[in-house]
Amino acid sequence: MDREELAHYTEVLLSMKEYEGFVWREAFRKKQHLKRLSDKHLKLLPEATKKDNITSHLRCAKQNQVFWDDICEMQKGFGPEVDLPTHVNFKQPLKTHPRHYHKLKSTLHQCVRDWAAEGAEERASCYSPILEELKRALPVNDSNKYKQKVLVPGAGLGRLALEIVAQGYITEGNEFSYQMLFTSNFILNCATEPNAFTLHPWIDNQCNNVSFADFSRPVTIPDVAPSDLLEQDACDGRVFSMCAGEFLEVYGNDIGTWDCVVTCFFIDAAPNVIEYIEAIERMLKPGGVWINLGPLLYHWANGDGDDDERYDQSIELTYEEVKHVAEGLNFTITNEARRECLYTCNKPSMLRSVYQCVQFTAVKGTRLETVPSSPAK
């Protein structure tokens, strides 16, 4: 790990330690705004709004902090040695940038998506069709069990990858974000029984709450112990692994290595989606399949003043253009479908984003292979 990388690694861990401080600032802002109300308006509010709810908000933050502290503690055993404070006085100025806080919030939401009982419907809408298609395209039998290799880039908290292992494939999840990597590492290794951890994942949801109970409600994870998803012989590193790093960099030398690449809500994370499609084609064995499901919400489309150079590269292809590129790269597109999916949905909220995803399976090299064997006219 180079110096810059180590600095980033340390900063992410430190931001986890500072989580409670970020929430405390939000609760403080809320309290200040209430204080500015006239006496008449203050009297109209329920008593709980002015007192108990604020205390309860901070109590929820404290419980989430325990989760982050546990993750930091466990991560000591995996990564480089890092000097972290045991306890952060969160009323002092924080050292990490608020963008880390945004990532911690979305990591908590991902915990619900991948590992809570209430995420089951969401998982059924997008993971189940992928698993069905995988079993259709690459059937597992006694002779090929744990032999076909599946890669899941953008694996998040690892649930989809683990469900794929459970079907009998060698599976590797790839993930770039340290927040996701530390958290998936923690869940996969330390969640030895269902409902081992209690989180309050929705306390950043200021708007569209019906009640304070919706806002502060606890969610337990995991719905199932990760090890219980797997057969005994699949619980080793040769069958399932998570790999840290940027997709294009990590697999830059892989040529014809994989039987299948599964992308779920992933390809639109690319500044240049053509690079991703090209890489997937290169990595697959001839006849290998790419299974994709997701929208095209390009992450780098709107810079709004951010100076990350990826905003200056972003090309926002339509689905038809993505398909054209894939076909030009020698993929044959089959089994196209539209799927209505949610993504880190907070069920009781008055607003939800609903994705009308495209799903397809792209088979590598079919065209080239058939050309030599076709009879001359």
Is 307 among the residues that bind a second copy (CB under 8 A)? no
User: Cβ 46 to a second copy, closest distance in Å?
Assistant: 5
User: Cβ 211 to a second copy, closest distance in Å?
Assistant: 5
The end-to-end CA distance of the chain, in Å, is: 58
Is 51 among the residues that bind a second copy (CB under 8 A)? no
Is 54 among the residues that bind a second copy (CB under 8 A)? no
User: Cβ 41 to a second copy, closest distance in Å?
Assistant: 5
* 50 within 8 A of 42, measured Cβ to Cβ: yes
Q: Around Cβ 188, how many Cβ atoms within 10 Å?
A: 21
What sign has the CA pseudo-torsion 312, 156, 206, 357? positive
Is 217 among the residues that bind a second copy (CB under 8 A)? no
* 9 within 8 A of 82, measured Cβ to Cβ: yes
3-class SS at 338? strand
**How many residues are listed for the chain in this entry?**
377
> Closer CB to a second copy, residue 49 or residue 257?
49
User: Cβ 19 to a second copy, closest distance in Å?
Assistant: 19
Instruction: State the Cα torsion 273-275-281-282 to the nearest 10°.
Output: -160
Is 337 among the residues that bind a second copy (CB under 8 A)? no
Instruction: Mark the segment that binds a second copy (CB under 8 A) among 10-18, 191-199, 241-249, 311-319.
Output: 311-319
> Closer CB to a second copy, residue 135 or residue 339?
339
> Closer CB to a second copy, residue 90 or residue 355?
355
How many Cα atoms within 13 Å fall on the side-chain side of residue 304? Answer: 2
Among positions 80-109, residues that touch a second copy (CB under 8 A) are none
Helix axis angle for 52-75 and 178-190, nearest 10°, is 80
Is 206 among the residues that bind a second copy (CB under 8 A)? yes
Distance CA 271, CA 316 (A): 8
Pattern 285-304, binding to a second copy, x per CB under 8 A?
Answer: ----------xxxx--xx--
Is 44 among the residues that bind a second copy (CB under 8 A)? yes
Among positions 342-371, residues that touch a second copy (CB under 8 A) are 349-358
Residues that bind a second copy (CB under 8 A): 30, 33-34, 36-37, 41, 43-46, 49, 206-212, 214-215, 268, 272, 274-275, 295-298, 301-302, 312-321, 324-325, 328-329, 349-358
